[in-house]
Amino acid sequence: MITGNIDGKIMVRRWLVTFKPFRIFVVGIGFFSLCFLMTSLGGQFSAKRLGDSPFTIRTEVMGGVESRGVLRKISDMLEVILKRMDSLSKLDNSTTSDTRRLDELSSAINRFQPAGLVERIQAIAQNVSNMAVRVEQILQNSMAAGRAVRDGSSGQCEVPRDPRYPDCPGKVDWMRARWTSDPCYAFYGVDGSDCSFLIYLSEVEWFCPPLAWRNHSSPPTVHTHTHQTTTTKRQAAFRTDLSSLLDQVGTGKESLSFMKRRMRRLASQWGTAAQRLHAKLRQRWREQKKILVHVGFLTEESGDVFSPKVLKGGPLGEMVQWADILTALHVLGHNLKISMSVKELQGFLGVPPGRGSCPLTGPLPFDLIYTDYHGMQQMKQHMGLSLKRHKCHIRVIDTFGTEPAYNHEDYATLHGYRTNWGYWNLNSRQYMTMFPHTPDNSFMGFVSEELNDTEKRSIMQNKVNNMAVVYGKEASMWKQQGKEGFLQILHRYMEVHGTVYYETQRPPEVPAYVKNHGLLPQHELQTLLRKAKLFIGFGFPYEGPAPLEAIANGCIYLQPKFHPPHSSLNHEFFRGKPTSREVSSQHPYAEQYIGRPHVMTVDYNNSQEFDTAIREIMSTEVEPYLPYEYTCEGMLERVHAYIQHQDFCAPEVPFPPTNSSSSRLGLSSPGSPGPQFVLLPNSSALTWAPDASAPDAWPPLSSLRLLASQEGQSCVEACQRANLVCEPALFRFVNNKDALRGLEVQCEVVEAEVNHVFPAFSVLRRECSLQKDPLLYSCAGHSPKYRRLCPCRDYRRGQVALCRDCL
């Protein structure tokens, strides 16, 4: 029997571990014979290479007898291989001279041994065993269906016409035509019979009614949108030991080594931050979450162009952020699983084998999944239908941000916002950015090393007043047109240093007067920054972590101002990104949130302005400075608040809380209570009335400040002008006529429409428009025809992501 040979196949792994290359070569003869047999079976089997993984053998579903015959042939071939291996194993007792000759032959043969042969044979043996088990299950299901026919229950396999399941007949027709299109159907027992279709469509999917003759004692498949909460909730406890996290991150790539070095270097600061936050929260109960972190851009399946460049001056910002995200989640005490490959992702999620056509059965095993755009594509490919059902658990780490108009698939397609990214129909706050540049998204951030007072004094005493370090590790960054002019001005006043990667020869793009140190390890770079007075950017890369690290080490950061601002409309780098954001300088966060004297933004094309800036920098004394939100404590505080308060799976309570048609448009009925908004003293902003009932919300309604923008102005700008932040979570409370009345807007017409600029009003036409689709609540939207209703909020000092009452 086929199943009787499974133990023999498992032995392959044990034998192969101990065999020398000579024996592997003999086994290889059997392996190639096996491959020949498989390819000669009329295309019934296919081998597909997945990255650098061993071969995975997938079967196209065949009839039961034919499948049994094919697997028996493969099984017999494996037995022949085992016999050859067994006879070779007796050579272990050979004489010393025999052994020497075998070793010489082994060394020669080893040069011809295909790479990864052992792993491939192991994978084939395991997959054949798995296939044998599945075929037996299919045959058993077929025999059970046959018994059902003989027992007179064949009527149960007639396609039901049940009004409660109107899609059932159509789904059965689809299965008849397409069930072989994805191996996942066979995995769930589909064998081509109507009985198997109905079993699948009633027990795995939910399009058909349960079959009366089936055993329904097992728990039904869960198809809800939320994670199962039947398990007992556990309290999260802060951790200060990172050893288990370092083990989970793994090895084998320079990117992972870089991340682990960073974790070790900052371990003591994370521990101190955990103690501070623990004291600040006053032992408040925190729920421990089950969290999966899938770093999609580092998987082999995505191409992983980052790892080979770690030691060659490549971008490190994403790896910096992911290392800090992993550390923050671990230190906060959550139950963490880390995936760096599609295979690991499939295993953690319990994805059935195949092409993603079948859903996951049972609840999602995680409360939260952190990934990136590459990971989203991989999850779509392998989760199929289940991704839509479980996407409320996902958080997408997104460096440059995703605006609502690009996120809404249908709207983006109809209105020209469709790009290669975006269009996932998530709540916009599920995207998490590196800097707080897109209020529609959540600000995740990263950390920089924090200095104590003694270190700060030492740095200020040892600064070299005429020393500048250029921001640019790759030679290509020095090719900027016109750089010779401002570099000559800089060289006139200061000694210029570079950290440009090179292998043997000095990069010709770097001027001869620049002292190039080559690519430096992190601790040596910090030593250089602690001496330098100036850290100067050329305009690229955009929004990286290096300027913050330089400012934290006592440098003044000088950067170019962009005229006009760079965006997807005029700059190749931003083209195709899911944002219309305009970037006014190389590092807008440093310009807007830090500013002078630590940051100076000037027009590099104006030599007089540039010259004046250099002389001002040389005469300015600054202390090392790091914004609180980029300290370990600041990041822990922010991530803790998101995890405990952001829930995109729970349905939002409708507001206004009535079912009348007038309320659906935000219109007050004659018997409604008094105004919900009152004018703040000495301000044009409205706030929630103290005597009005305040629905549960996060951020809380106490933080709300309602403003009207100017024509053509976004809510991002309108709130910033008032030293506030636009809060998309509060749009639903201002998308009503009470908000318009509070702002004394005159409306002859009030309509609800699908437009990312609404809620808004036209003064000229006296038209007021409310938002019909919550996915399009947008801080970023603007139009010259409309003034927008903007839900702004206050924020904590040094922590723009959180309002004053958000902890």
Same domain for 704 and 613: no
pTM of the model: 0.79
Output the pLDDT for position 391: 95
Which has the closest alpha carbon to 756: 472, 407, 462? Answer: 407
CA separation for the pair 625, 551 (Å, rounded):
6
Question: Is 70 exceeded by the pLDDT of residue 110?
Answer: no
Q: Could you tell me the sign of the dihedral formed by the alpha carbons of 518, 583, 683, 774, in that order?
A: negative
Inter-residue contact 253 to 309 (CB < 8 Å): no
Cβ-count burial of 560 within 10 angstroms (0-12 exposed, 13-18 middle, 19+ buried)? buried
* Least confident segment among 235-244, 426-435, 666-675, 692-701: 666-675
Dump pLDDT digits (tens) for 442-460. 999 999 999 999 999 999 9
Output the pLDDT for position 526: 95
Give the residues across from 791 on adjacent strands: 706
Strand spans (E) along 319-410: 335-339, 368-371, 394-397
Q: What is the 3-state secondary structure (H, E, C) of 537-554?
A: ECCCCCCCCHHHHHHHCC
User: Which is more confident, 140 or 622?
Assistant: 622
Same domain for 504 and 424: no
First to last CA, the chain: 64
Look at the block and give the residue holding tokens 């288990």.
Answer: 244
C-alpha dihedral, 715 to 719 to 722 to 725, nearest 10°: 180
Inter-residue contact 401 to 567 (CB < 8 Å): no
The mean per-residue pLDDT over the stretch 232-249 comes to 95
Same domain for 460 and 439: no
Backbone angles phi, psi at 750, to 5 degrees: -125, 120
Alpha helices per DSSP H over 223-361? 243-249, 254-265, 267-281, 317-331, 342-349
User: Which is more confident, 71 or 63?
Assistant: 71
Q: Could you tell me the sign of the dihedral formed by the alpha carbons of 74, 80, 82, 84, in that order?
A: negative
Q: What is the DSSP string of 595-634?
A: -TTTEEEE-TT-HHHHHHHHHHHHT--------GGGSHHH
pLDDT grade, residue 121 (50/70/90)? low
Alpha helices per DSSP H over 625-714? 632-645, 661-664
Two tokens at 332?
A: 């906060």
> Is residue 21 in a domain?
no
State the Rg of the chain over Cα. 32
Same domain for 593 and 480: yes
CA separation for the pair 677, 685 (Å, rounded):
10
Q: Which domain holds residue 332?
A: 242-443
CA angle 298, 332, 278 (to 5 degrees): 150
Q: At 601, which CATH number?
A: 3.40.50
CA separation for the pair 641, 193 (Å, rounded):
52
The mean per-residue pLDDT over the stretch 287-300 comes to 96
The mean per-residue pLDDT over the stretch 272-279 comes to 97
Output the pLDDT for position 670: 33
Question: Is 50 exceeded by the pLDDT of residue 555?
Answer: yes
CB atoms within 10 A of CB 144: 15
DSSP character at residue 41: S
Q: Is 636 left (phi over 0), alpha (psi -120 to 50) or beta?
A: alpha
pLDDT grade, residue 625 (50/70/90)? very high
Which has the closest alpha carbon to 731: 801, 778, 676, 796? Answer: 778
pLDDT grade, residue 116 (50/70/90)? very low
The mean per-residue pLDDT over the stretch 749-757 comes to 96
Same domain for 378 and 314: yes
Inter-residue contact 715 to 709 (CB < 8 Å): yes
Same domain for 187 and 293: no
pLDDT grade, residue 266 (50/70/90)? very high
pLDDT grade, residue 309 (50/70/90)? confident
Backbone angles phi, psi at 7, to 5 degrees: -60, -40
Q: Is 133 left (phi over 0), alpha (psi -120 to 50) or beta?
A: alpha
* Least confident segment among 384-388, 594-598, 599-603: 384-388
> Is residue 716 in a domain?
yes
Inter-residue contact 105 to 61 (CB < 8 Å): no
Same domain for 415 and 305: yes
> Is residue 502 in a domain?
yes
Highest mean pLDDT out of 307-321, 356-370, 381-395, 598-612: 598-612
Output the pLDDT for position 74: 59
Cβ-count burial of 621 within 10 angstroms (0-12 exposed, 13-18 middle, 19+ buried)? exposed
CA separation for the pair 411, 404 (Å, rounded):
9
Same domain for 390 and 333: yes
Output the pLDDT for position 362: 76
Average pLDDT, the chain: 83
Pick the last residue of a domain from 158, 181, 204: 204
Question: Is 50 exceeded by the pLDDT of residue 539?
Answer: yes
Output the pLDDT for position 465: 94
Which has the closest alpha carbon to 173: 140, 208, 212? Answer: 208
> Is residue 112 in a domain?
no
Same domain for 437 and 473: no
Q: Could you tell me the sign of the dihedral formed by the alpha carbons of 319, 335, 280, 650, in that order?
A: positive
Output the pLDDT for position 3: 38
Which has the closest alpha carbon to 553: 652, 656, 449? Answer: 449
Backbone angles phi, psi at 704, to 5 degrees: -70, 135
Inter-residue contact 354 to 204 (CB < 8 Å): no
DSSP character at residue 799: B
Same domain for 602 and 532: yes
Q: What is the domain count for the chain?
A: 4
Question: Is 60 exceeded by the pLDDT of residue 317?
Answer: yes
Cβ-count burial of 629 within 10 angstroms (0-12 exposed, 13-18 middle, 19+ buried)? buried
Q: Please give the share of the chain, as a percent, with pLDDT higher than 90.
A: 65
Inter-residue contact 418 to 394 (CB < 8 Å): no
Output the pLDDT for position 13: 38
CA separation for the pair 717, 725 (Å, rounded):
9
Backbone angles phi, psi at 247, to 5 degrees: -65, -40
User: Which is more confident, 32 or 693?
Assistant: 693
Pick the last residue of a domain from 377, 409, 443: 443
Question: Is 80 exceeded by the pLDDT of residue 747?
Answer: yes
Give the residues across from 292 on adjacent strands: 337, 369
> Is residue 466 in a domain?
yes
Same domain for 250 and 315: yes
Output the pLDDT for position 385: 78
Question: Is 90 exceeded by the pLDDT of residue 101?
Answer: no
> Is residue 199 in a domain?
yes
Same domain for 420 and 549: no
Output the pLDDT for position 72: 53
CA separation for the pair 599, 548 (Å, rounded):
10
Sort strands 583-585 and 394-397 into parallel, antiparallel or unpaired.
unpaired
User: Which is more confident, 245 or 651?
Assistant: 245
Length of the chain: 807
> Is residue 76 in a domain?
no
> Is residue 230 in a domain?
no
pLDDT grade, residue 683 (50/70/90)? confident
Dump pLDDT digits (tens) for 557-598. 999 999 999 999 899 999 999 999 999 999 999 999 999 999
Inter-residue contact 314 to 269 (CB < 8 Å): no
Pick the last residue of a domain from 204, 223, 257: 204
* Least confident segment among 236-240, 325-329, 680-684: 680-684
Cβ-count burial of 202 within 10 angstroms (0-12 exposed, 13-18 middle, 19+ buried)? buried
